[in-house]
Chain A
């Protein structure tokens, strides 16, 4: 094993097998296929690549895809935490049903989600008809992209935070309150540090999922060049012109950007965990 194994957990068996299988499967399913995109792009000259990915329309679409995904992930992190909290800690009528419904954005085909959201938020829709007179246009604007991505990423934060929160024994909180901590102090000092890794994970996943989302967004975005056109749509556009290299060039930029962001978040988490570990 070329991986340097620190001795802390070495009592447990199965490291080689588990890691070996993980890496093999990862390579077969993810890494080798993804490398195809990189190799196809490598056929381009550097100038051609740079020209493709810095075209104003492409830059505008990156801005929209990453920006909208980030905002949507923030919305999901905040409200998702509240939803997870409510589902784990409180009892109220219909809780089971709501718990079950949270996963629906995964189950619903993205195209259906897009159609349903457009129907609801367009000027004649159930919600849109009340928003539009107040100057809030959702369907066919960048705001529509945020709405679609919020829907798509909704389960991530809830479902990553929920099990950790459920697992968190009440004793620590009770101890904190016995020792005189206020409820807020307990939340900030005891609960939040424990669920923070899961919260960050949920945020990162919602964000990452949103960046590449296509099916639901094209229905609600309006797809106007420079304004409400997402990056994956430009990939499709390039493909329509049999420009495989151009399409993979945009794909590669998106891949690298999401990889770096995810990597940064994972490092942050690892750091937070180590710090947390030293504290206790």
Chain B
């Protein structure tokens, strides 16, 4: 076994099942049963309800609901906002994980807590704080107005609120993973003369890429689906500042239940597509002969 220890951790990420897992079949299946029952109760049934409602008027109505100009405008806006928010938080997430998982410094727990904070801030508040700053009654609102710059009730405000809400996702996915992996491989690479950037690209990135991808997927999913915070800063102008979740609400409030759930189901489908994509990439990478990074043995 000692020989395998010398290989980088990345090789074990998806180990070929060499033998049955340690539990008895009874334990195994009751665990699977419990997991499925839990997911069914809290996830599958509500989800099925969404698709049931979306399709209850037939496929034509479903497609018509999505092809409608206001729906299309909301889909475009939503993607554009996500395209701004996700890369910003991706860069931040990697930087934060590098600082936190690879170095010891005072105030680290504080920093971690502050990074978590946007999760716990009520969406109502995360919208409100931008209104307090950029609103007509806010700190710099009057100045913005006199220069005809629109932040809230326009795209920049929606993007800001989305960045805020999805702020911790990538960082929070990477930090535990990088802490768990330890920094021995990177240290070895540096000692062997690699530059910092090379080390990051050739050693760190291959090790964290799945975590990174998870983080991006979650960040993206949440960016597309955010409702509360965006609702506060959007102004709800039809065909202009309504994102998909807001459009869902509008349709629901117009008794267009099927159309409303149709748009909602697109958001659900998008998440499924990104995850299918992820599985495909995983599969491709596993079938490639990756060039293993040569690093020293771990203790």
Contacts and interface: CB of A to CB of B under 8 A. Distances in A.
Interface of A: 3-6, 8-15, 17-19, 21-23, 25-26, 29-34, 36-37, 40, 79, 82-83, 85-87, 89-92, 96, 98-113, 115-117, 119-120, 125-127, 147, 150-151, 154-155, 159-160, 163-164, 166-171, 173-174, 177, 183, 186, 194, 197-198, 201, 204-205, 207-209, 211-215, 231-232, 235-236, 239, 244, 247-248, 251, 254-255, 258-259, 262-263, 266-267, 270, 273
A101 B177 CA distance: 22
A151 B132 contact: no
A248 to B, nearest CB: 7
Interface in B273-289: 275-276, 279
Contacts of B260: 112
Contacts of B31: 82, 85-86, 90
Given A13-B190, A37-B128, 12 more contacts: A89-B21, A98-B36, A98-B39, A103-B218, A103-B221, A104-B43, A197-B179, A208-B120, A262-B116, A263-B109, A263-B110, A270-B109
Contact of B275 (A99, A208, A263): A99
Contacts of A8: 104
Nearest to B116: A262
B164 interface: yes
B187 interface: yes
A76 to B, nearest CB: 9
Contact of A186 (B22, B196, B228): B22
A183 B287 CA distance: 33
Interface of B: 1, 4-5, 9, 12-15, 17, 21-23, 27-28, 31-32, 34-36, 38-39, 41-47, 49-50, 53, 91-92, 95-96, 98-100, 102-125, 128-130, 132-133, 138-139, 160, 163-164, 167-168, 172-173, 176-177, 179-181, 183, 186-187, 190-191, 196, 199-200, 210-211, 214, 217-218, 221-222, 224-228, 231, 244-245, 248-249, 252, 260-261, 264, 267-268, 270-272, 275-276, 279
B176 A126 contact: no
Contacts of B268: 104, 107-108
A31 B114 contact: yes
A102 B122 contact: no
Nearest to A182: B22
B121 A12 contact: no
Nearest to B168: A205
A170 B120 contact: no
Contacts of B91: 21
A118 B181 CA distance: 42
Contacts of A166: 13-14, 210
Interface centre among B12, B39, B196, B200 (most CB of A within 10 A): B39
B299 to A, nearest CB: 9
Given A33-B130, A96-B279, A127-B45, A9 B23 contact: no
Contacts of A108: 47, 50, 225, 264, 267-268
A40 B17 contact: no
Contact of A112 (B115, B117, B180, B264): B264
A259 B132 contact: no
B39 A102 contact: yes
Nearest to A236: B124
A204 B261 CA distance: 31
A54 B82 CA distance: 39
B218 A106 contact: yes
Contacts of B177: 163-164, 167
B119 A205 contact: yes
B50 A91 contact: no
Nearest to B18: A170
Interface centre among B164, B221, B224 (most CB of A within 10 A): B221
